Amino acid sequence: MAAAAYNAADAQVQLTSQIADAYTNLRDRQQRAAALGRALDLQRQQLDLAQQRFRQGTAPAFAVGQANRAMQATTNDLAVAEAEIEIYLNALAVLAGEAPGSLDALLAEPRDVPLPPQSVAIGDPASLLRRRPDIRAAERNLAAATARIGGAEAARFPRISFMGILGIGGTSLDDLVAGGDVSKIAVPQLQWGVLDFGRTSAAVAQARAGRDEAEAQYRQVVLSALRDAETALARFAQQRRTVAALAEIKRAADESAVLMRQRHEHGVVSLGDSLEAERQRVLAEANLRSAVAALTGSYVAIQKSLGLGWTYPAETTSTRLSS
């Protein structure tokens, strides 16, 4: 029963993790679609400018084709992002137990991806073993399998049972006082498990094998939990470095876009160069936002692997005694 309760808690952990991942991906795709839409507007302007210059004889046809291919690639990326928005909207609705499309109005407006907290108390491996409900479920299964050995071993010892009927015939007062109406006296009978031709020994061996299997599963769950935690922490650290690098790239792209805009206003560079710098700035911002979303996704993985998103219930006395 305790293992079943912990399995239910583990299902809740899995569910909340899936909801957090789907929500993070939805907000990332919405922001990316908005950035791609702005980039597409800039590329249309670039294409129009290339076509004007081609008609004036100041630009080759290759420039027009290049601008058109770039615009088509962005159009395709935008279509993919919009399709993924629908996918994640439907996924969130299903995870919330609603029909697909029922949460569209609630989540249609783009919002920023929630950021991880500045610090997280991870704790030691012993705390991990107590926090994760799947480990607790495996531990309870192991305890139950161990208890089955004792139950099977008990069959080796004699059991006392009473055979017969202990009763007094009749329903009236005269019948009850008539001692001769006692129909049958129960007699004790001993039953020995050693006379079952090895059935008890087989049951004990089966129980021990079940216990060995439960122990192996418990070890596997613990090792998998430790591996998940190490992997999640490593990915989170790597993603933080990625975010820092992309933030620096965005800063440089912002400065370049401002500088190119100023130079265009003074007639130093062409409008096409200014539009390209602005497009690079928009894409750098989109890449940074996607990296932040991936960082939040890594934090969700840490929450899941360390069991930080779940508080185990207080143990009962019977649970503690059987541990």
Query: In this predicted structure, what is the pLDDT of residue 179?
Result: 47
**pLDDT above 70 as % of the chain:** 77
Query: In this predicted structure, what is the pLDDT of residue 318?
Result: 39
| Distance between start and end Cα atoms, the chain | 14
CB neighbours (10 Å) of residue 23? Answer: 20
Contact 34, 74 (CB under 8 A): no
Query: In this predicted structure, what is the pLDDT of residue 31?
Result: 92
**CA 253 – CA 278 distance, rounded (Å):** 8
Does residue 122 carry a pLDDT above 80? no
Contact 304, 21 (CB under 8 A): no
Query: In this predicted structure, what is the pLDDT of residue 30?
Result: 95
- Measured CA angle at 67 (ends 252, 37), to 5 deg: 65
Q: What is the pLDDT of residues 25-68, one digit of tens each?
A: 999 999 999 999 999 999 899 888 888 888 888 778 888 888 88
Domain range holding 77? 2-321
196 falls in which pLDDT band (50, 70, 90)? Answer: low
Does residue 15 carry a pLDDT above 60? yes
CB neighbours (10 Å) of residue 84? Answer: 17
CA 220 from chain centre, in angstroms, equals 19
266 falls in which pLDDT band (50, 70, 90)? Answer: confident
For the chain, what is the domain count?
A: 1
Structure tokens at 114: 């929630």
Residue bearing the bigger pLDDT, 308 or 259: 259
**What is the pTM for the complete model shown?**
0.68
What letter does residue 164 receive in the DSSP assignment? S
Does residue 96 carry a pLDDT above 50? yes
Query: In this predicted structure, what is the pLDDT of residue 299?
Result: 87
Query: In this predicted structure, what is the pLDDT of residue 80?
Result: 93
Nearest to 61 by CA among 79, 40, 44, 47: 47
Question: Mean pLDDT throughout 84-89?
Answer: 94
Question: Mean pLDDT throughout 180-192?
Answer: 49
3-state secondary structure of 122: coil
What are residue 163's DSSP bridge partners? 187
- Measured CA angle at 304 (ends 221, 18), to 5 deg: 115
**CA 132 – CA 130 distance, rounded (Å):** 6
Pairing type for strands 159-163 and 187-191 reads: antiparallel
Question: Mean pLDDT throughout 201-216?
Answer: 81
Question: Mean pLDDT throughout 261-288?
Answer: 88
Does residue 319 carry a pLDDT above 60? no
Does residue 164 carry a pLDDT above 60? no
Q: What is the pLDDT of residues 280-313, one digit of tens each?
A: 999 999 999 899 999 898 888 888 887 766 555 5
Q: What is the CATH number of the domain that holds 124?
A: 1.20.1600.10
Alpha carbons within 13 A on the beta-carbon side of 13: 24
Question: Mean pLDDT throughout 136-146?
Answer: 85
Nearest to 122 by CA among 299, 315, 312: 299
Question: Mean pLDDT throughout 157-180?
Answer: 49
221 falls in which pLDDT band (50, 70, 90)? Answer: confident
Question: Mean pLDDT throughout 132-155?
Answer: 80
Does residue 123 carry a pLDDT above 80? no
Q: What is the mean pLDDT of the chain?
A: 79
